[in-house]
Amino acid sequence: MSRDGDDEAKLDTDQKIRRSVARTFFNGLLLLLCLALLGGWAYTGLYMIDPGEAAVVLRLGRYERTIFEPGLRWHLPPPLEYVEKVDVARIRRQEFGLDRTETDVGGEGAGGSVRESAIQTADSNIVNVAYELQYKVGDPYAYRFSMADPGAVLHDATEAAMRSVIGKRTIDAVLSQDRSEIESEARELLGEMLSSYVTDVGHESAFAVGRINLEKPQAPEAVREAFADVVSAGQDEKRSSLEASGDAQEILQRARSEAAELREQAEAYKRAKIIEARGEATRFEALVAEYQLAPEVTRRRLYLETMEEILPGIEKMVVEPNTVNMLPMLPLGRQPSGLGAAQ
């Protein structure tokens, strides 16, 4: 009996050991499985941000942060956090006033096709305008979550801005004015409109407007030739005005040159007269000094010099006053013809 009891006790001990080993193995296997599941769940939080992309992180459906730096990143695995990646470096485009589907670089657009855009001007005329909008994504969260269809919103806002800008001008101003002024004003108005759309969500504008490239506006087909004549006449007027301004400038410059030359001549004449007057004054002062020394001699000499000046080329004789019975005098410079023949 005791031997059978020992065998039974030994058998119970072996069974307990086996159960303990099996339990330990099962627990270890379960732990490894849990760790594997936990690791796989944590691995789902890894994501890569490529250059030019931004990642919007949502925690339990609420905005948490936006990451712009490229590289390998990690977030809390779903359903705790989700990541939405947005391309913020790509230049996107929308075209207006063309009979084709609006597109941007990469295939995203407002959807649908638009016919040629006809815009009413301030003087109740119609002008056909075609233009292109270039833009990038501004705030990734506002672009992805603040509106259902970003392309359609941007399309409608751009068209409203352009219609508002052109609607303030007459058709002559639109057809003849510099297009850069219209582009700049429309771009500024569009930026203000887009910023106002996301004020309530506390974020920046969903779009970063780059350029608005406006093609040359055209009048409606029925009156295009007439407006072309009007524009041509306006250009002729400007050209004639420029030519007249050029001629006026040329005449004015020539008149200024002649006036400057006359002023220089007048200044030279003035200086000459001043120098001459000073010389005469100096000569008179010298004569006064001589006259004071010998009045009679100086008076006679001045008289003789004056006669030489007022009677040039005439033979003159000086005789004493109150002389009577004066004999005729033969000129010593020549002889009578008869006397020469007698000799």
DSSP 100: E
Distance CA 110, CA 120 (A): 23
Peptide bond just before 220 cis, omega within 30 deg: no
Phi, psi (degrees; rounded to nearest 5) at 215: -75, 170
Distance CA 170, CA 154 (A): 26
Angle at 43 between CA 34 and CA 60, to 5 degrees: 95
Contact indicator for 81, 45 with CB cutoff of 8 Å = yes
Contact indicator for 105, 92 with CB cutoff of 8 Å = yes
pLDDT in tens, 123-165: 888 888 888 999 998 888 888 888 888 888 899 899 999 999 9
Contacting residues for 326 by C-beta, under 8 A, at least 6 apart: 319
Confidence of residue 22 (pLDDT cuts 50, 70, 90): confident
Confidence of residue 107 (pLDDT cuts 50, 70, 90): very low
Distance CA 68, CA 321 (A): 126
With a cut of 60, say whether residue 42 has pLDDT above it.
Answer: yes
Residue 99: predicted pLDDT: 52
Measured between alpha carbons, how far apart are the two ends of the chain, in Å? Answer: 216
Angle at 227 between CA 225 and CA 232, to 5 degrees: 95
Q: Which residue has the higher pLDDT, 231 or 294?
A: 294
**Residue tagged 């002389």 (tokens):** 323
Phi, psi (degrees; rounded to nearest 5) at 299: -65, -45
Residue 135: predicted pLDDT: 92
Contact indicator for 62, 104 with CB cutoff of 8 Å = no
pLDDT in tens, 60-83: 878 888 888 888 877 777 888 888
Cross-strand bridge partners of residue 132? 95, 213
Residue 260: predicted pLDDT: 92
Contacting residues for 52 by C-beta, under 8 A, at least 6 apart: 70, 87, 88, 89, 90
Contact indicator for 77, 42 with CB cutoff of 8 Å = yes
Contacting residues for 231 by C-beta, under 8 A, at least 6 apart: 175, 176
Distance CA 53, CA 89 (A): 7
In 3D space, the residue among 134, 223, 211 whose CA is nearest the CA of residue 180 turns out to be 211
Residues 38-47 have a mean pLDDT of 76
Contact indicator for 102, 96 with CB cutoff of 8 Å = yes
Contact indicator for 65, 139 with CB cutoff of 8 Å = no
Distance CA 251, CA 21 (A): 117
Distance CA 182, CA 130 (A): 13
In 3D space, the residue among 168, 102, 112, 101 whose CA is nearest the CA of residue 135 turns out to be 102
Long-range contacts of 30-33 (CB under 8 A, 24+ apart): none
Cross-strand bridge partners of residue 127? 119
